[in-house]
Every structure is written in structure tokens, then in C-alpha cells.
Structure 1
Amino acid sequence: MKKQSKGKKRIILSGVAVLTTLALLAGGTMAWFTDTERIGADFQAGVLDIEVSTSTDGLLPRT
């Protein structure tokens, strides 16, 4: 009788361990795919004016 009791106990504990592992895996997967991050990026459209200097001394020209 004790062998049957131990066998049932092992099966139940194994089932609980498997269900706990599956629950943690499902929760982690759900957290991975539903995670969001807010970005405070601000995009603007316009004209960018760039000048090219031909100075060879590495200093910026005076204006």
C-alpha cells in the first residue's frame, strides 16, 4: 500500500511541477510580447542649410 501511495504522490507532484513550469513560461511569453515603451521623439520637417568650408588649417572661418 505504501508503494502505491508514493507513486501517486510522485505523479501529483510531477503534474504540479509541469503545470507551474507551463504557467511561468506562458506568463513570460505574454509579458515579452505585450511590453511597450514610450518614446518621447519629436520629429520636425524643414530646410537644413549647410555650408562647406575649404579651409585646410582645421579652423572654422570667421564670419
Structure 2
Amino acid sequence: MATKRTTKPPKAPAPPEPSICSPCDGSGMVAATVRVGRKRRPVGQQDGLCLNCLGSGTSPDA
């Protein structure tokens, strides 16, 4: 009995890896300084959503 030849379909190229957002370093969160008082003195920091990538952590320019 003759052997049956089969061809494999060509492999699709791998999708490019997304680049990391630089302001938040890929975490999706950035620190914002909290200011209080009449002289607006800084008292601490709180986490906020990164407005560059909108919390996804990937660069929107890529």
C-alpha cells in the first residue's frame, strides 16, 4: 500500500507583542499628589487611572 502524502498548512506569523505604556510602566495606575489647605501643601498621594492608556497598560501608539 502506498503512503499518503499530506502537506501541512503554513504557520501564521505570531502577533506583535504590545508595548508597555511609559507613564504607568504597564500597571494602568499612576500616583497623583493630594494637596490640602489654603496654601495647597502636599500631604500624600493617591492612585488614579492612567489617562494615556486608560488603565490597559499598553501603549496606545503601538
Whether TM-score is above 0.5 comes out as no
Which structure carries more strand by proportion? 2
- Structure with higher RCO (Cα < 8 A, 6+ apart): 2
Which structure carries more helix by proportion? 1
TM-score w.r.t. length of structure 1: 0.24
